[in-house]
Structure 1
Amino acid sequence: MTDQSTNFPFWSGSQAEQERLQYAIQAAQVGTWNLDINQQQLWWDERCRELFGYEGQNVVSYSQMLMLVDEEDRPRIEKAIESTLNLSSTGHYDVQFRVSGASLIDPPRWLHAQGRAYVDIMGSAYRLSGVVRDITAQVRTRQQLEISKARFRSLVVNSPTATVFFVGRDIVIDTVNAPMLQIWGKDESVMGQPLQQVMPQLAGQPFVELLQRVYDTGESYHNDKAVGQIMVDGQWQESWFNFSCNPVYAQDGTIFGLINTANDVTAQVVALRESEQRYRLLSEELEIRVAQRTRELAEANEDLKRTNDNLQQFAYVASHDLQEPLRKIQQFGALLKTEYANQSEQENNYIDRMQLAAGRMSNLIRDLLIYSRISTREQVVMSIPLDSVLAQTLVDLELVISESQAVIDAEPLPVVMGDALQLGQLFQNLINNALKFSRVDNAGNPAIPHITIRTQRTAYSQLPPALRPARQAEAYHRIDISDNGVGFDEKYLDRIFQVFQRLHRKNEFVGTGIGLAICQRVVNYHGGLITASSQLGQGATFSVYLPA
């Protein structure tokens, strides 16, 4: 044999060609070898010896080389050589095997040897030549990949959610669990086959392309209402799924598979669509009803407007035509008393009673007109300082207050939104009531009326539980008007705000029985409420709540 350090005995080219070949082999980090079949001797270059972990000569016996191979892999090498030398074979040699590491603690190294057989003119092989390279990294990567696959297979099989593990860009079904097979309408025979082959009906859908895009880009995909056509029991079936697909990475960072999960949400989607359909029908029906109700309300408003107009006209006529006869009765009664001043006492008493009845009738008509106009007249709403309203009321009642020597103690009052005229009627009626229903002692001497007016801010939640205002607001101004008068039994609380309801005889206290009804109507019209508390002989307190 020639010097193996500079040329190759199996290469018949020129020296320059051999050098170029040597450089290419060195760059590829592969070793070269040449096995003499007849002599059972192996020639190998320096790189080949390094890969086998051999530090001896560059020519060794075949048996020496075989001893360097892992004991379990030796039969595989012998079988590969035997197959290569077989006259019916292609004459190509290809085998993977392990060799010992540099030390006892080093893991074995995996090598991949490839070559071909050379035959003589008789057709007998006399030499095997080839190359060997280190594939340890690839084998370990493959082993780790198999471990990862095994782990994912376990996760897939044990998952309660329909799950499938695909490998490769061809979307080959590696592992699929029973829930996913049930969705597909398939059995375990689909494993190891490409998805498109198992389910050809997906060809017209973007499902496979979507999976391939996840494999190529590494970008996960999720759709909570993915729709798909699935062939189940020979029939197409449209279904909806909460669908997700995530890439599976190897240790080197490359993608080797996909995990696909699917929750069948068809029942929920169908139920939702049915609910939406019912909602649309109800909405259409509601729109029809609202339109009809709007027309009815518009007609009712027109009727109410006409009624209010008629009431206003009637009120004008009543205030003029009804009051005029009463004024004449009073005037003629006064003339009779003057003309016949020397009449008997009984006759004068008849005339007094006639005039008194006419006066009461006149007051009653006036109060009824006030009561009716509260809700029929156009309300002028503006910012009203209640201090100004109270001051004007005290001016109007100045004579009555002076005659009774009443004491009125009032706190500063708030500003509210409302109608000044109506609020004036409210204060006038409440203060007039307090003056009118004053106490007298056993000797018949009247007590001096003492009226206090207090105010405080009250939250909606602190309103009297049994009462609710006409308009809800976050807070209200509570105004308490208290007196030291005769009071009343609280069992009649619901009656005192009704029209023509009286708790005393006419000869005890004058009045029409409409004043408190007017107060309640004014307060309701302003979005508030009114109530009272009292004990017989202990005075009364009227509480007015107006929106703040």
Structure 2
Amino acid sequence: MPGENFPNTGSLRERLDIDFALTSAGLGVWELDPVSMQILWDDRCRELYGSISDNYLPYDKAIAYVHPDDVSRVNDAVHQAFQLTSGGNYDVAYRTIGADDGKLRWVRFYGKASFDEQGKPYRFGGVAQDVTRDMENLKSQQAAQQQILDSFEASPVGIALIDRHELTFQRANPFYGELVGRTPDQIVGKPLLTALPELAGQGFDQLLQDVLDTGIPFIAKDVAVALVRNQVLETIYVDLTYQPQRPVNRTEITGILVIATDVTQQVLSRKRVEASEAQLKSIIATAPAAMGLFVGRDLVVEMPNQAFIDIVGKGPDIEGKPLREVMPELENQPFLQILDDVYTSGKMFQSHGSQVNIVQHGVMSYNFYNITYTPLFNEKGEVYAILDIAIDVTESIRVQQKLQETQAKLQETIELAELAAWEVDFTTRKVMYSDRLRDWCGFEREEPLTIERAYEVIDPQNQLIVKAAMDAARQPLNEGQYEAEFSVYCLKTGQKRILHAQGKVIRDEQDEVCGIAGSAQDVTLQRRTHAALELLVQERTEELASTNEELFTSNEELAHTNEQLHQANDQLIRSNASLEQFAYIASHDLQAPLRKIQQFIDILVRRHQDTLAEDSRLLIRIQESAHRMGLLINDLLAFSKISNGKADTQEVMLSEVLAQAIDNLSVAIEETSADIQVESLPAFLGDARQLEQLFQNVLSNAIKFSSKDMQGSATVPCIQVTYQQVQSYELPLLAGWAPVYGSYHRIRVQDNGIGFEEQYADRIFGVFQRLHGKSEFEGTGVGLAICQKVALNHEGFIQAQGRPEQGATFEIYLPVQRQ
């Protein structure tokens, strides 16, 4: 109960059920009475406070050994844990000052408070541990990172540090602010899409999240970024690096270092003459620990566990197969030879952190393992198998490498950007140049430099520019920023370079300007390229102007030619119209005398068929010829009517129109036992009479031109009518016709008839065009010409495909949603 005396330290351990485990983990246990505010803790907790003599003491006495800067934070954490709304959770890291040794330690106390039915705390306890080393490592890394970031403040490379939480900017140097069109103060402390809302939808937030999730750096060149700069949305190009950041001795990623180099001018210049794109993708597969038995000299895989099967990545069917067959990728690696040596010598082999390249599910992976090859002996003392035990240490190896390389990679960034460092001391008038800058200027590596000596290599015409920039940087209004672009001549070779330098003033303890430090970049190639491209653009502009004059002259000539073509086309239209009118009048006027001829012949045949004997055959032939002529005149009249008349447009159901055409052919269908399969057709704005004629003519041909079997008998016509809506870009190419609608109805009629040679696919749509003799198949050669005319009247077209004895296919295309 609250306020009662605590049990001794031993019973405390028993009650919390921690003894050996806590000692092994370096943890101490403690308990604070919420009523009496008395603390009971074990010897480990006393050591964290510098060996306080008592295991039982007041809270105020213990708090006296907490660092003054942390006292309020500890008190607030205890007070918060006593609130029911907090759930009783308590977790705080702070510094203690040793009671006996005065030593500063970082400790972490965490635990939980328990509450009674009235919501008051009646018990509060937990564990404690020494986190001094972790805190010191964290501070060392932060200090190193801060030192590097400070060195980039004057760099012409944009650098920013983004925190994992909501992708919030922690740091940004001035050049990064210049790149994104803001000052660092405008973006630091804000989430990415809040500071730079125009980046939404460009994918950079997802790239950052991918780096945080996978730990794989993102490096890309010539990345296009749309940014609002000077109140205008513009696209710039940068060489971009996203480098994951981890605390020392920790695996989790806490943020991302962003490095952006402005390459807009280079990219824009290059895009005028060529376009290029490069991508790099890498896949790193990890695998868990594995065990397997390699039996015999051939190393046959036996008793593999699931982890081994997963690592091998060749599926479950690997047992009973030689290792060389299962993993041929090991041929160029040392492990097969090592296994052979173990089998021969009988000596165990161990290695730590060995890289093994394995093709897993068709993909090469590069992982690290602690490997143990243990020989197994039979009763004769002979090696009969090797036990392979592999522990996957890929993550720890990579974390170790990252921790070791973090400092180096940040430093390498300067080299990748090809920057040179410099510093000027106004007090001593001494100048410090990096090795790269000394090479550019022709100075020896060990030569001491002064301001006067540095000016000797600067183009005399640019020396005033450099001096003015230096003076301006020292003025308060410029916030200590230095920037200048000038030419230098190498003392050794005479080579001229154009340098772009940026820097920031250095202040002494009295806040007086005592120097300037910064970086320089060789922009010679960019400036020369830019100048060359400007000249090239000017030349191309002049050539274009000359070409435009020639085109203007050619356009006038083409206009004259087009006018002549229009006149010829109008004359052709008039001629065709006259010809169609003549065909209509001629066929119409021929019908009356032809009917009389047929009537007279029919009378003669009935009256004199028996008396004329042999000559009656001539009358019958005259009768048949008159009949064919009648059919020809009727078809020609139908063709003329369709050619002269416009389609009577109204909404019709194509399925109903097709059904009527099939009914019109019922006699022929019954005689031939034709099988016609029809899919549902859509509604359409068109002339029902013309469309019925189109379907009837196509189906009539499919029935009429049936093929014959091996005995010479006609086969049963099988006809399929299918429908599909297609887009205009899916239409076949057709000479003299181009689609004007976005989509079309495609009605396909396919038969099993005699077919035709593909070379006649266009000819069959001509008037009076026949591919067979009159004795083989009856007809006038006008039916398909009528079909084509109907399709054209409805702003569509018809085409045919066929192969001899393999049937024919007619495709009718009609526009969708005609108005």
Higher gyration radius (CA): 1
Could you state the TM-score of these two structures normalised by the residue count of structure 2? 0.35
